[in-house]
Chain A
Amino acid sequence: MEIAIIAIVIVAVIAIWAIATTNGFKVAKVKIDEARSGIEVALTKRYDLLTKLLDVAKGYAKHEKEMFAEVIKLRKGMSVGEMNEAVRKMDEMAKQINFTAEAYPELRSSEVFAQLQKGIFDAEEHLQAARRVYNSNVSHYNASIVKFPASLLAGGYTPEMFFEAEPSKREDVKMSF
């Protein structure tokens, strides 16, 4: 009888642990999806502002033929690779606009241009934050599915890809504790 009770308790503990662990994986996955949609929102905002900035720049620099016609496609449910590519293209677009603005002082001094640049700066900060949230959640999830004994239940779960940091944002921040 005692052995049966002990066995039932052990099975119950294992069952509770298994449920909690698999729920943990699911919650981590949901958090990753939320973080991914956070990146999409930040990307869309940045793209909208960049497009407006481009229109303003075109108004001043009508003769610039190289004014970036690269098409950036954004859609819901993009993969990490697609989002990385969109970020790269937007960085290129921002660089070109700034390069053009260097040659047009009236454009640089325009209030609309300044406002939009501030907006883009803020959107980039939100994008950075969204990206770090995503990577943090991915890191937590990836670690949780390989750790023993939880890894025994992680058969259907595969590691997620990290969102790459753009080279300019990779600079180390010196921390001294």
Chain B
Amino acid sequence: MNDQNAYIYEEIRRLQKSKRVYQIMVGVGFVGFFIGIISTMIPLCLLCFPLIMIASFLLTGIQRKMKANFGASLVRNALSKVFDRVEYLPFHRLPDHVMELSEMKLPFDVDRIEGSDYTRAVYHGLELEFSDVKLIDRRSNGKHTSNVTVFEGLWLVCDFRKPISSGILLRERNGGSIRFFEKLGHGGNVIETENVEFNKKFLIVSEDQHDAFYVLTPHMMEYINRMDEWGMGVSYMRFTRSGKVHIAIHSGLDFFELDSKTDPAMLTEKFLDEVGYITGLIDTLHLSDLQNNS
């Protein structure tokens, strides 16, 4: 362990301690506030409310500081071990023009997009961009409005060197949905391949049947199936005319975060595992083989 790492680990440990203290303060504040409400002790409420606010503010600040000052450098190191030409922005997400959300035809409404850990890099000659993404739908029942997270996980955009004339959408079928209704609102035709099991598992939409069969070779269908298992979530995919594949996995996973429990010396390992999850998606799809053949 070199001096630089030792310093980083020491600083992270110090910040983790502070973070734990602020978390306890928030917890105590909430408990006190509720006790104050139940027992109608207004002074206790008045005391606890500012405590919650100040501790939350400090907690947010320390999380940001941990990530910006130390986490980012560890993440960059982990990314650089696997990828080439790494560009990492901890507080940014995939830009809207890259995500092309409207083209993904997700089966839910999205009012707000949040995200972090934007990364742009090259992996085995493939250009890729990814970030954590959270899609939020604001729902109202007339009286109350609530924000519902409809998607949370990784959004990866990667080179896919098979020229096609129309986009192809793939998404895991909703167990309870009726196939007739699935055919509506996709702006394309529902494609049925010769693989009955694959058709059962994934809804495929494309304007061009030939393009869909050209991309979804028997091997590619098997790779997608494996990738879906690897992803541990609900998979959404889009193959674009511009030679990219979008892979969005609603897994609830949040990458490259510094929690207050993990030993700082183990953080690099943790981040490398998370990078391994991303490269696993690309490897199971054999995208770099495709690149070499094209």
What residues of chain A have their CB less than 8 Å away from a CB belonging to chain B?
35, 38, 118, 121-122, 125-126, 128-130, 132-133, 135-136, 139-140, 173-177
Contacts and interface: CB of A to CB of B under 8 A. Distances in A.
Interface stretch (B36-44, B47-55, B111-119, B210-218): B210-218
Interface of B: 162, 192-195, 197-198, 201, 209-210, 213-214, 217-219, 221-222, 225-226, 293-294
Given A129-B213, A175-B225, A139 B197 contact: no
29 contacts: A118-B293, A121-B293, A125-B162, A126-B210, A126-B214, A129-B213, A129-B214, A129-B217, A130-B210, A132-B193, A132-B194, A132-B213, A133-B209, A133-B213, A136-B192, A136-B193, A136-B194, A136-B213, A139-B194, A173-B218, A173-B219, A173-B222, A174-B222, A175-B195, A175-B197, A175-B198, A175-B222, A176-B226, A177-B225
Contacts of A35: 209
Contacts of B221: 173, 175
B217 A128 contact: yes
A177 B193 contact: no
Chain A interface helix/strand/loop/mixed: helix
Contacts of B192: 136, 140
A38 B222 contact: no
B258 to A, nearest CB: 37
A95 B18 CA distance: 70
A125 B293 CA distance: 11
* Most chain B Cβ neighbours within 10 Å, of A118, A128, A129: A129
B201 A177 contact: yes
B214 A135 contact: no
Contacts of A140: 192
Contacts of B225: 175-177
Given A118-B294, A128-B217, A38 B194 contact: no
B293 to A, nearest CB: 6
B194 A135 contact: yes
